[in-house]
Amino acid sequence: MRAADWASLPPDCRRAMRSAVLAQCFGMLTQQMLAGGILLLYLNAMGVKAPVILLLLNLTPFLSSLLSIPVAWGTDCIGIKRFGNWGNSLMIAGMACIIAGAFLHGGAPRLVLPVVLVGLVIHLIGASFFNTGWFSLLSHIVPVTMTGRYFGLVRFSWQFMTLLFFSLSALFFTSRTPLWIYQVVLAAGAVSVGCRFIFYRAIPDAPVTGSTPLNMFGSVQSALVLPGFTRYLAYLLLLVCVTGNGQDMVRLSAVKGCGMGDNQVLYLSVANMIGSLAAFRFMGRVVDYLGSRRMFLLCHIGFAVALLIFPARVALHLSPLAAGVASSVVLGLVASTLGLATTSHSFRVCHGAQRTIAYALVSAAQSLGSGLSGFALAALLARFGSGLPGGNPFDVMLAGLGVCIFVQMATVRLLHDPAESTETVYAATEVS
């Protein structure tokens, strides 16, 4: 955001927006650990098989899709910040269980997966409590004309902090990293989430509308009648079904198919974050200028290129590490641009008294698509494994996903193109 944009805001608004940035810089770290490759490497270090890793990685988004609606309704009834504080505490408790799993690896190996699974579920519930009301909390603060730029700033800030943390962690990783190092890294993430309480306290709660809340089914029905909303949900579901597991498939192909070490796989996560940072820094203004529909089309092309780079590494004369870094950078750039475009589109489509439910439905569609995609890929790996043509099953799947996302460009027609508005309507989608 330009200094002039920032200076035009009232002091209370600037203070709240600044606190939101700092809250996410500290609070997003554990979610990035679980989704950004550290959980994958942690499970791999404990000898978990690839299909089980995919199942565990996608259990979180799948269950999140089921929790989004009741949690959103609860935040409307009980209060956004109360749910947010509960969620922060649960995330810390969940990380403690995940860390405890490694202590059982030597003495009671059968209990490792159940304990880690319990930790993931607790962390998921906490993240759902915090994230579901996040944009409604900011909806009375962020001007509609600054959506792309502000949320680009928020995401750039927390992604930069995560990049620094991952880069420092990489100094302690080796080709076969000891479990205790993973435990220390995960514990540092839990401490960081605890620090989010300080800045979250400074964000004012969303104003009460004064109207009697509808029951949960009535709230969902009210949100679904928004113009073009159901088609938008269908589009997001189809899109994320193909793209939601792209980076995890690259990491699995690297570690299981190509034999890359833990430290090299972590470099892929750092490369992905660099791509994300570039998107958050530069693409917010582009989204505001071109509009969400054009950006969705460009994202389809970008995803197709990113997903095809790694399986085409031999034809491109690239080493697995070089191809993985290139693919990860492009995936980070495109996925983050997609997030900004989704935020911008939802900002105009999701409005009215049931906006929290509408945001939750958007989040649920994305989470459901990612979870179902991961379960399908895990089933293919368990069924065929190395029997898939081409030797490396992960490469075959990546190539298939790349072709599918390109063909899916036709689904952009599902989107309703809401009129560009300068009214003060506030919204967004995935967590910043």
Let me know if residue 427 belongs to a domain. no
CATH number of domain containing 339: 1.20.1250.20
Let me know if residue 67 belongs to a domain. yes
Let me know if residue 422 belongs to a domain. no
- Tell me the C-alpha to C-alpha distance, in Å, between residue 411 and each of 334, 373, 424: 18, 18, 30
Question: Which residues does 432 contact at the CB level (< 8 Å), separation at least 6?
Answer: 24, 134, 135, 151, 154, 155, 158, 343
Let me know if residue 425 belongs to a domain. no
Let me know if residue 77 belongs to a domain. yes
Range of the domain at 44: 9-206+216-414
Residue-by-residue pLDDT tens, the chain, 432 positions: 566 666 667 777 788 888 999 999 999 999 988 887 888 889 988 888 888 888 888 887 788 778 877 887 777 777 888 888 999 999 999 999 999 988 888 778 888 899 999 999 999 999 988 987 787 787 777 776 676 678 778 888 888 898 899 888 888 888 788 899 999 999 999 999 999 999 998 888 776 555 555 667 777 777 777 777 888 888 888 888 888 888 888 988 888 888 888 888 888 988 998 998 888 778 877 887 777 788 888 899 999 999 999 999 989 899 999 999 999 999 999 998 888 888 777 777 766 656 667 777 888 888 888 888 888 888 888 877 655 555 678 888 888 888 888 888 877 776 765 544 433 333 333 444
Q: pTM of the entire structure?
A: 0.75
Nearest to 359 by CA among 69, 61, 151, 83: 69
Let me know if residue 211 belongs to a domain. no
Number of separate domains in the chain: 1
The Cα 182–Cα 172 span in angstroms is 10
- Tell me the C-alpha to C-alpha distance, in Å, between residue 278 and each of 62, 250, 271, 329: 29, 20, 11, 9
Let me know if residue 116 belongs to a domain. yes
Let me know if residue 296 belongs to a domain. yes
